[in-house]
């Protein structure tokens, strides 16, 4: 019951927001109050679950001619925790947007879409049926595409919107196929049924791997990661909510939700581990060379999501989810701060910033906190969550884990390399934006109160959430997946050895960036990459590869189809018309008005008739 | 061939020759004059066939009135004196074909049916004034009266047409 | 006299008249050709009247009627030709297109073959 209310509240707010969209003040109130209500209801749901345990509510069955869709919601530790996180970040973003989008003429639709998105994400989190989850999943996708294209006057926004939609949809084909395979195995779409009755088999592996396609698309992993950097064409609050904290985390959430089933298939876990390892390193390398601060953060998000998926792949359920929660806090924080910078000086290019520490002190402090959490400095949450991920990988590599040892080693090593790279690019961004001589034309100023509130609100969990590392029972209660599970989740744990190694790597990466910065006279340290820089900057040319392999042939095919329709098929249509007219022209010419012609014709036929008659009479 | 037949052949040749010239000459006024010759030859044929009254009526009305009317019309429509271009070759060919076909059908039909017959000119009641008149005003008086109404209508029509619209309603 | 002679003459005269009606351009000449046809008919009537030795002289009386009607007809016909000449300035039948029903000579506009509008594909980015 509570779960349905939690989902419906922002949905109603979205509808109401669309209705009153013209009235800015009213739309602001509807959006903020709606999201606040959703947060309150989520917390209430959390209390209910804490007191009386997890529950599943069924709301009816939709017959499909095959396996019916059971419209059902579940409230358990995992769902409640993630729902609270989603609602909280959404509330911060809504409050932030009232100031950030203050002069935007389309604020009404913007806020309504954010509310709709929130409802869809909550549906994904709280659904107990795979198809119901898919509904939320797809609504999130369309909201994301529409919000990316919010400034649709700009061509880059339009094309980024289409790209995001198409690439994620491509993954969703695999997702749906996987869901159908799994439903065929268990006879139901229900997640509860799947968790209880799944058994290891080839078909299960196939289904799970297919579902990974959707995860890869939604969570911007290699090879479907290409949409996330371009999605930065959307406004900063959109990037914060959708492309840092929530939608991209939905892929991680899905694997977590079905984790007990995934543990039955080492092959699926191995594939996930390989994908995660590749993405971690590739995305971090690309982040090193970007000039746009938001693009740095986008590639960073891809890399951090790979951390979460890597953790889940090695069986570190709590580690992966802990990192998801922490990342939501500090990445949303970083994006909103980037928005504050853009709001102040009008650009998000690192080459156009500099020395903002003096003109925007509060933003400087907040961003430093966020970047430090990203890098993984204690006592911020990023340190604890990243260490728990690396710890889980080490466990699986050294002892028997649910996946082959080589893939666990792969995740561990890639994780360590990425720690170094993360430190490097985060330090670079920090130095270029906040330290050194100012390069921007406009003078920066700290953001207005509404934006500041959200920044502070997100800074709190960034700093404080790390304490969860020391309360395993709370964590296991928070992340309890409900129902019957194959493995008991334990709390997050840290290993001293990996902690020391990763801190050392952080130091190395940060120092390298700092030294390079000093060497090039406090300008872009990425110059030290030399000729590799352009390759990294455009994401190793994967976009160009996709363009050549898929986009150009498709455009050529569509042009061919249009030409065929116009010149071949349509030619028949036009030809039919023209030949009818031409045929008509023949007797038409006979109606030229020449009287003697008419008389000639009449007389000729009379003569023929007479001849026929005479001939008949004579013969 | 006796004398009557010979005379008929000669007159018929004249009529056909003049008729041929009417339909083929390029000078329009000459065509009207050749028409007069043709009509005159026909009158001669009538005489040979013992239709005396008819022959003179032919001369009076056709040659006298109709030809003159035609000449007046030619003058009023400014028919050129010199040669004028005829119809296009295609039309001439088609017209000739239809005409030849007509002629052939008629000849074949008439000659096949009645080719061997002979007119006994001795036994004919000569069509003089008394004979025709008594037939006209006894047996054919009703069509005669109807015809006079038709002539009246034609007269009225001709007057109406010749006045033109401008004179009539002052538009 | 053999009946064949008048019949041949009249048939040939009739066909000459047909040719004239179909082939002459001047309207007055067409009327003259009609006169030729009527005369051929008259000759036929008189010949048959003589062959039948009709006591009522039906053929000759009918010939009389034909002459009358032809006279009336040619009078009215020429009056019409004169009127047409007065209005149109010509009595040449090839120039008189009053019965022309072809689209370009009639006042109402004819339907024109419109080329269809097909959406061009968006140019590649």
Contact C8 B111 (CB under 8 A): yes
Of C98, C99, C116, the CB nearest to A570: C116
- B with C: how many residue pairs have Cβ under 8 Å apart? 251
A316 CA to centre of own chain: 23
Task: Give the residue from chain A lying closest to C118, CA to CA.
Answer: A566
Contact A555/C121, CB-based, under 8 Å? Answer: yes
Residues of C in contact with B9 (CB under 8 A): 5
Q: A44 Cβ partners below 8 Å, 6+ apart?
A: A2
The answer to whether residues B3 and B70 belong to one domain is: yes
Q: Which of A382, A283, A377 is nearest to A324 (CA)?
A: A382
**A176's tokens:** 């749906």
pLDDT, position A105: 87
Are A175 and A258 spatial neighbours (Cβ–Cβ below 8 Å)? no
Average pLDDT, chain A: 87
Q: Which of B98, B104, B109 is the closest to A603 by Cβ?
A: B98
pLDDT in tens, A116-159: 999 999 999 999 999 999 999 999 999 999 999 999 899 999 99
Chain C residues with CB under 8 Å of B99 CB are 15-16, 18-19, 22
Chain B residues within 8 A of A618 when measuring between CB atoms: 108-109, 112
Residues B137 and B79 placed together within one structural domain of the fold: no
Query: Which chains, if any, share at least 3 CB pairs under 8 A with chain C?
Result: A, B
Predicted local confidence at residue A136, as pLDDT: 93
Q: Are residue B107 and residue B94 in the same domain, yes or no?
A: yes
Give pLDDT, residue C108. Answer: 54
| B33 and B107 part of one domain | no
Q: Is residue B123 part of a domain?
A: no
B91 with C23: Cβ contact below 8 A: yes
With beta carbons under 8 A apart, name residues in chain A contacting C22.
Answer: 596, 599-600, 603
From CA C45, how far away is CA B93, in angstroms rounded? 31
Residues of C in contact with B164 (CB under 8 A): 83, 86
Chain-centroid distance, C-alpha A190:
24
Quote the tokens at residue A567: 């010149």
Answer whether B5's CB lies under 8 Å from B44's CB.
Answer: no
3-state secondary structure of A74: strand
pLDDT at A535 over 70: yes
pLDDT in tens, B23-66: 999 899 999 999 999 999 999 999 999 899 999 999 999 999 99
Question: So what's the pLDDT on residue A490?
Answer: 55
User: Does residue A450 contact residue A226 with C-beta atoms inside 8 Å?
Assistant: no
| Confidence at residue C66, expressed as pLDDT on a 0 to 100 scale | 96
Alpha helix stretches (DSSP H) within A316-404 = 317-345, 356-359, 361-375, 381-398
Q: Return d(Cα A122, Cα A118) in angstroms, integer.
A: 6
Q: Which domain holds residue B28?
A: 1-84
pLDDT of residue A396: 85
CA dihedral B28, B32, B38, B43 (to 10 degrees): 170
B residues 12..31 contacting A (CB < 8 A):
none
User: Could B5 and C71 be called an inter-chain contact, meaning their C-beta atoms sit closer than 8 Å?
Assistant: no
Contact call for residues A132 and A71 (beta carbons, < 8 A): yes
Q: So what's the pLDDT on residue A39?
A: 92
Measured CA to CA, the distance from residue C12 to residue B100 in angstroms comes to: 9
Better pLDDT: C114 or B141: B141
Residue A471 has a pLDDT of: 73
Chains that touch B (3 or more CB pairs under 8 A): A, C
Is the domain of B39 the same as that of B97?
no
Which chain B residues touch A601 with a CB distance below 8 Å? none
Average pLDDT over all residues of chain C: 82
Phi and psi based region of residue A75 (left: phi greater than 0; alpha: psi -120 to 50; beta: remaining): beta
Taking CB atoms and an 8 Å limit, are A604 and B98 in contact across chains?
Answer: yes
3-state secondary structure string across C30-60: HHHHHHHHHHHHHHHHHHHHHHHCCCCCHHH
Residue B16 and residue B93 in one domain? no
pLDDT computed for residue C121 by the predictor:
46
The band of C111, judged by pLDDT with boundaries at 50, 70 and 90, is low
Q: Are residue B10 and residue B75 in the same domain, yes or no? A: yes
Strands A69-75 and A55-62, sheet pairing: antiparallel
B134 touches chain A (CB under 8 A): no
Does residue B125 carry a pLDDT above 80?
no
Question: Which residue of chain B is at minimal alpha-carbon distance from A603?
Answer: B98
pLDDT for the residue numbered B115:
79
- Domain co-membership, B63 together with B106: no
Report the chain C residue with the minimal C-alpha distance to residue A160: C125
- With CB atoms and an 8 Å threshold, state whether B23 touches C19: yes
Q: What chain C residue is nearest to A579 in terms of C-alpha separation?
A: C113
Of A558, A562, A595, the CB nearest to C118: A562
Selected residue with higher pLDDT from C42 and A595: C42
Q: Return the partners of chain A (3 or more C-beta pairs < 8 Å).
A: B, C
* CATH number for position B12: 1.20.120.1200
Q: How confident is the model at residue C115 (pLDDT cuts 50, 70, 90)?
A: low
pLDDT mean over C34-49: 95
Nearest to A94 by CA among A218, A242, A231, A230: A242
C-beta atoms of C118 and A565 within 8 A: yes
Q: How far away is chain B from the Cα of C38, in angstroms, using its nearest Cα?
A: 11
Contacting residues of A for C23, CB less than 8 Å apart:
596
Rounded CA separation A72/A58 (Å):
4
Dihedral of the CA atoms C59, C63, C65, C71 (nearest 10)? Answer: 170
CA-CA distances (angstroms) from residue A111 to A24, A231, A447, A448, A507? Answer: 10, 18, 20, 19, 42
Q: What domains does chain C contain, in order, with CATH numbers?
A: 4-88 (1.10.287.3510)
The rounded distance, in Å, linking the Cα atoms of A538 and A69 is: 43
Q: Which tens digits make up the pLDDT trace of A426-467?
A: 999 998 888 888 877 777 788 888 888 888 888 888 888 877
pLDDT of residue C123: 40
Is B38 within the bounds of a domain?
yes
Q: What's residue C72's pLDDT?
A: 93
Name the residue with higher pLDDT: B4 or A352: B4
- Shortest CA distance to A254 belongs to which of A218, A300, A306, A296? A218
The per-residue pLDDT for A487 is 45
Structure confidence at residue A470 (pLDDT): 73
pLDDT for residue A299: 93
- Are B72 and B142 contained in the same domain? no
pLDDT recorded at residue A68: 86
How large a percentage of chain A has pLDDT more than 70? 97
User: Can you read off the two tokens belonging to residue A213?
Assistant: 């396609």
Nearest chain C alpha carbon to B66 = C71
**What residues of A are in the C interface, CB distance below 8 Å?**
159, 551-552, 555, 558-559, 562, 565-566, 570, 573-574, 577-578, 581, 588-589, 591-596, 598-600, 603
In degrees and rounded to multiples of 5, residue C111 shows phi and psi of: -70, 135
Q: How many CB atoms neighbour CB A565 within 10 A?
A: 13
- pLDDT band of residue A94 (cuts 50, 70, 90) is very high
Query: Do residues B80 and B96 share a domain?
Result: no
Q: Decide if pLDDT at C114 tops 60.
A: no
Is B42 part of any domain? yes
Residues of C in contact with B66 (CB under 8 A): 35, 70-71, 74
Residues of chain C in contact with residue A581, where contact means CB-CB under 8 angstroms, are 113
Residue B4 lies in a domain: yes
Establish if B142 touches chain A: CB-CB under 8 angstroms: no
Neighbours of A21 (CB within 10 A): 18
Same domain, B1 and B80: yes
**How many angstroms separate the CA of residue C49 from the nearest CA in chain A?**
23
Chain B interface mutation, best of C60, C86, C94, highest count of B Cβ atoms under 10 Å: C60
The overall average pLDDT reported for chain B is 88
Nearest to C11 among B49, B69, B106 (CB): B106
* Confidence (pLDDT) at C103: 58
Comparing CA positions, the residue from A286, A301, A319, A208 lying closest to residue A248 is A301
Residues B133-166 pLDDT 10s: 998 999 999 999 999 999 999 989 888 887 766 5
- Mark yes or no for CB contact A593/C99 under 8 Å: yes
Is B30 exposed, middle or buried (CB count within 10 Å of its CB: 0-12, 13-18, 19+)? middle
Judge: C116–A600 Cβ closer than 8 Å, yes or no: no
What is the per-residue pLDDT across A70-80, written as a single tens digit (0 to 9) for each?
Answer: 888 888 888 89
Q: Does C103 touch chain A (CB under 8 A)?
A: yes
Neighbours of B11 (CB within 10 A): 20
B123–C53 CB contact, under 8 Å: yes
Question: Which among A596, A597, A607 is the nearest to B105, CB-wise?
Answer: A607
Using the beta-carbon criterion (under 8 Å), do A603 and B102 form an inter-chain contact? Answer: yes
Q: In what helix (H) or strand (E) does residue A241 lie, and over which residues does it extend?
A: none
C114 has a chain A CB within 8 A of its CB: no
- Listed by number, the residues of chain C in 49-108 with a beta carbon closer than 8 Å to a beta carbon of chain B are 49-51, 53, 55-58, 60-61, 63-65, 67-76, 78-83, 85-86, 91, 94
Written as one string, the DSSP assignment of A243-299 is: IIISHHHHHHHHHHHTHHHHTT-HHHHHHHHHHHHHHHHHHHHHHTT-SBHHHHHHH
Put simply, the answer to whether C116 touches A558 (Cβ < 8 Å) is: no
Tokens of B76: 């009023």
Q: Which residues of A touch C115 (CB under 8 A)?
A: 574
Residues 6+ positions from A523 with CB-CB distance below 8 Å? A436, A517
Minimal-distance CA residue of chain A relative to B105: A611
Interface test with B, best of A598, A604, A615, A619 (most B CBs within 10 A): A604
Residue A371's pLDDT band, with cuts at 50, 70 and 90, is very high
pLDDT in tens, A155-174: 999 999 999 999 999 999 99
Q: Does C36 touch chain A (CB under 8 A)?
A: no
pLDDT band at A269, cuts 50/70/90?
very high
Integer Cα distance of A37 and A12 in angstroms: 11
- Same domain for B94 and B72: no
pTM, to two decimals:
0.68
* For chain A, percent of residues with pLDDT exceeding 90: 36
Query: Could you give the residue ranges of the DSSP H alpha helices within A448-530?
Result: 449-464, 472-478, 496-519
Cross-chain residue pair A604–B101, CB shorter than 8 Å? yes
Number of domains in chain B: 3
């Amino acid at each position: 019951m509570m779960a349905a209310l939690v989902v419906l509240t922002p949905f109603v707010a979205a509808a109401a927001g669309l209705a009153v969209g013209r009235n800015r003040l009213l739309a602001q109130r509807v959006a903020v109050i709606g999201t606040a209500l959703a947060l309150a209801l989520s917390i209430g749901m959390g209390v209910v679950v804490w007191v009386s345990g997890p529950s599943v509510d069924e709301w009816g069955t939709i017959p499909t001619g095959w396996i019916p869709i059971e419209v059902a919601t579940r409230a358990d530790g995992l769902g409640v925790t993630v729902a609270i996180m989603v609602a909280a970040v959404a509330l911060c973003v809504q409050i932030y947007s009232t100031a950030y989008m203050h002069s935007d003429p389309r604020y009404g639709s913007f806020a309504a879409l954010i509310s709709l998105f929130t409802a869809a994400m909550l549906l994904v989190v709280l659904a107990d049926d795979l198809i119901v989850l898919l509904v939320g999943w797809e609504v999130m996708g369309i909201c994301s595409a529409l919000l990316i294209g919010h400034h649709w006057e700009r061509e880059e926004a339009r094309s980024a919107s289409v790209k995001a939609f198409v690439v994620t949809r491509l993954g969703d084909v695999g997702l749906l196929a996987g869901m159908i395979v799994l439903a065929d195995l268990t006879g139901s779409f229900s997640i509860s049924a799947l968790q209880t009755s799944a058994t290891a088999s080839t078909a299960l592996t196939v289904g799970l791997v297919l579902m990974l396609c959707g995860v890869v698309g939604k969570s911007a992993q290699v090879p479907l990661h290409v949409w996330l950097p371009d999605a930065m064409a959307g406004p900063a609050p959109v990037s914060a909510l959708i492309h840092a904290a929530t939608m991209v985390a939905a892929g991680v959430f899905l694997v977590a939700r079905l984790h007990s089933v995934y543990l039955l298939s080492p092959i699926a876990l191995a594939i996930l581990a390989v994908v995660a390892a590749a993405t971690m390193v590739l995305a971090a390398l690309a982040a090193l060379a970007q000039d746009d601060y938001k693009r740095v953060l986008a590639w960073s998000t891809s890399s951090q999501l790979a951390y979460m998926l890597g953790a889940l792949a090695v069986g570190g359920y709590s580690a992966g989810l802990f990192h998801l929660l922490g990342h939501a806090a500090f990445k949303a924080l970083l994006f909103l701060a980037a928005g504050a910078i853009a709001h102040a000086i009008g650009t998000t290019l690192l080459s156009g910033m500099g020395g903002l520490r003096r003109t925007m002190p509060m933003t400087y402090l907040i961003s430093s906190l966020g970047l430090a959490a990203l890098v993984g400095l204690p006592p911020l949450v990023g340190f604890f969550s990243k260490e728990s991920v690396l710890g889980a990988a080490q466990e699986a590599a050294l002892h028997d884990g649910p996946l082959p040892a080589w893939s666990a080693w792969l995740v561990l090593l890639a994780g360590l390399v990425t720690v170094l790279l993360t430190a490097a690019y985060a330090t670079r961004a920090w130095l270029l934006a906040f330290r050194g001589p100012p390069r921007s034309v406009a003078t920066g100023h700290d953001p207005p109160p509404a934006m500041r509130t959200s920044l502070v609100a997100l800074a709190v969990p960034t700093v404080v959430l790390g304490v969860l590392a020391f309360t395993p029972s709370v964590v296991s209660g928070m992340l309890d997946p409900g129902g019957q599970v194959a493995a008991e989740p334990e709390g997050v744990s840290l290993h001293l050895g990996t902690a020391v190694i990763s801190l050392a790597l952080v130091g190395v990466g940060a120092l390298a960036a700092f030294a390079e910065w000093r060497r090039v006279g406090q300008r872009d340290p990425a110059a030290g990459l030399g000729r590799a820089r352009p390759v990294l900057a455009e994401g190793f040319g994967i976009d160009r590869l996709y363009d050549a392999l898929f986009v150009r042939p498709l455009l050529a095919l569509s042009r061919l189809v249009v030409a065929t329709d116009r010149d071949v098929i349509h030619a028949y249509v036009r030809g039919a018309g023209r030949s009818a007219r031409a045929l008509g022209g023949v007797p038409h010419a006979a109606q030229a008005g020449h009287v003697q012609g008419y008389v000639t014709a009449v007389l000729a036929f009379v003569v023929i008739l007479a001849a026929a008659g005479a001939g008949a009479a004579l013969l | 061939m006796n004398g009557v037949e010979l005379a008929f052949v000669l007159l018929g040749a004249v009529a056909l020759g003049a008729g041929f010239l009417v339909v083929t000459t390029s000078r329009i006024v000459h065509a009207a004059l050749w028409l007069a010759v043709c009509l005159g030859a026909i009158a001669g044929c009538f005489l040979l066939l013992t239709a005396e009254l008819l022959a003179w009526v032919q001369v009076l009305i056709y040659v006298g009135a109709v030809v003159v009317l035609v000449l007046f019309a030619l003058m009023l429509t400014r028919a050129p004196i010199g040669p004028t271009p005829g119809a296009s070759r295609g039309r001439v060919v088609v017209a000739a074909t239809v005409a030849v076909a007509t002629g052939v059908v008629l000849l074949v039909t008439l000659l096949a049916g009645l080719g061997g017959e002979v007119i006994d000119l001795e036994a004919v009641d000569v069509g003089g004034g008394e004979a025709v008149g008594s037939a006209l005003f006894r047996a054919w008086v009703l069509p005669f009266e109807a015809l006079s109404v038709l002539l009246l209508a034609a007269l009225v029509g001709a007057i109406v047409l010749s006045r033109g619209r401008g004179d009539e309603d002052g538009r | 006299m053999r009946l064949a002679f008048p019949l041949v003459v009249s048939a040939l005269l009739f066909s000459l008249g047909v040719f004239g009606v179909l082939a002459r351009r001047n309207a007055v000449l067409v009327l003259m050709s009609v006169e030729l046809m009527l005369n051929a008919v008259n000759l036929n009537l008189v010949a048959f009247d003589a062959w039948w030795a009709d006591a009522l002289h039906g053929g000759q009386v009918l010939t009389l009627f034909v002459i009358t009607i032809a006279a009336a007809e040619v009078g009215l016909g020429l009056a019409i030709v004169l009127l047409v000449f007065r209005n149109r300035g010509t009595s040449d039948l090839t120039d008189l297109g009053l019965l022309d029903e072809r689209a370009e000579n009639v006042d109402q506009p004819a339907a024109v073959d419109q080329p269809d509008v097909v959406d061009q594909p968006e140019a590649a980015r």
